[in-house]
Chain A
Amino acid sequence: MKHLLPVSLRVNGEPYDLLIPPWRTLLEVLRENLSLTGAKRSCQEGQCGTCTVLIDRKPINSCLYLAVEAQDKEILTIEGLARSAEVLHPLQRAFAERGAIQCGFCTPGLILAAKAFLEENPNPSEDEIRRAVVGHLCRCTGYFQIIEAILAAAREMAGKGAQVGH
């Protein structure tokens, strides 16, 4: 049995050449090989969304994804979202300012899922936002603030692009 496979990942714009066993999930490799602990391990079955990262700008549960299958793909984790420590992404700022972060465990997954969603739907309704984050659990149950934060970030981001009438 071949135990180690060469895998090239691009994570937050940085290339990594790794030797990893095929049974390692992307979540395990991000956390344990790359020390990127923003993606959290929780339910391990795709229910809770804390392990959500973006692959080629789309959200996936990294606990259900083999690292070898992310070969050559563009991976974004929460660590790669802010341009710098001083300049947060509008979603990060909205979450912080609107009390959408309590313990913070669900936050990285929610922000990344929201980012991917807003790229597809820059002017969402509240209902559309609820459906977009249905795969995420917040056990502090701060859902209202989370929805409000995503709405606020959407308005800010849409406002920057063009005049938005609604």
Chain B
Amino acid sequence: MGYLRRLPRFEYLAPRSVVAVCDALAEYPGEARLLAGGTDLILQMRRREVAPRYIIGLKGLSELAFIRPQENGGVTIGAMTTVRTIESSPLIRERYGLLCRTAAEMGSPEIRQSATIGGNLAGALPCADFPPALITLGAQVKLKSQQGERLLPLEEFFLGPEQTVVGPSDLVTEIQLPAPSPLSDGAYVKFHDRHAMDMTTTGVSAFVTLDQERRRFCDVKIALASSAPTPLRAKNAEAALRGQAFTEKAVEKAAALACQEAQPRSSWRASRDLRLELIKSLTKRAIRQAWEKAKAPPDGGRP
């Protein structure tokens, strides 16, 4: 961890627009870091894990703080939208209960007030909670640079711990969610020591779509946190459930497959064996909860 000192010195830039941020990134290639909510980067700087020459502060970019419904029934979320805003958005609660509940369980109210969705993705910590939930929701992420824009599935965004496809001159601008299908819902279940400033030891997101008769899994998406160097889709587990009726046996089998697909590491937080046990239990719980939620009519109440 290292001794937590004062911050290293840097020059601070506060561009007022996305275009100006892209210009600043292009001007100082590799020397600038983007500061969103700061709940991860400030710690990394204090530990001297990073000491960028330039900090580009994004807090003033109201252009990227939005939650916008799309004509196709989907929703676009600006990268500087805080966890708190996502948690309390009626639109997110109504269309993506999974995302709303995931946000409500992150950190403390203080952390949620500062932390942003763009920072949670771009920071690419394997323990981050938004990536598995968003991957199971089929999210896409938009990057912008002086060269232009590109849109890619969030699944293809992560390359390793703290490593993403975001280049030194790229800015994550928005996250796009597809229209939710009827008879679908999800659950993100995690194990962690304590709520505030929690690092997820293991997390599992399951998102299921039921068939018309509400007896079988029409589609299933499962993604894991802190179970591999990057957020991981458990595709074999998903495939085992697709088309199946909801039975304990089917759920058990999917959980066993998820364990085989995962590559958790041992760390001071938890051993590999403990993490495998957790992946098994949490996958079962996530699938069961997702199934129950998808079967029930939308409650419209509080998460």
A residues contacting B by CB (< 8 A) are: 1-3, 5, 21-25, 28, 43-47, 49, 52, 58-61, 63-66, 68-69, 113, 116-117, 131-132, 134-136
Contacts and interface: CB of A to CB of B under 8 A. Distances in A.
A22 B294 CA distance: 48
Nearest to A47: B197
Interface string B2-16: 001011111110100
B74 to A, nearest CB: 28
Contact of A135 (B4, B46, B59, B110): B110
B111 interface: yes
Given A46-B108, A134-B108, A69 B57 contact: yes
Contacts of A43: 4
B53 to A, nearest CB: 8
A2 B11 contact: yes
11 contacts: A1-B9, A3-B9, A5-B12, A22-B12, A23-B8, A46-B39, A46-B43, A59-B109, A61-B110, A66-B57, A68-B12
Contacts of B14: 68
Contacts of A113: 109-110
A117 B108 CA distance: 12
A25 B109 contact: no
Interface residues of B, number: 31
Contact of A1 (B11, B113, B196): B11
Contact of B42 (A58, A64, A135): A64
Contact of A49 (B39, B43, B84, B110): B110
B35 to A, nearest CB: 7
Given A60-B114, A64-B43, A135 B197 contact: yes
A134 B106 CA distance: 11
Given A44-B46, A46-B39, A46-B111, 9 more contacts: A1-B11, A44-B4, A46-B108, A46-B196, A61-B110, A64-B38, A66-B35, A117-B109, A135-B111
A25 B35 CA distance: 13
A83 to B, nearest CB: 25
Contacts of A59: 109-110, 113
Contacts of B42: 25, 63-64, 66
A46 B57 contact: no
Contacts of A22: 10-12, 55
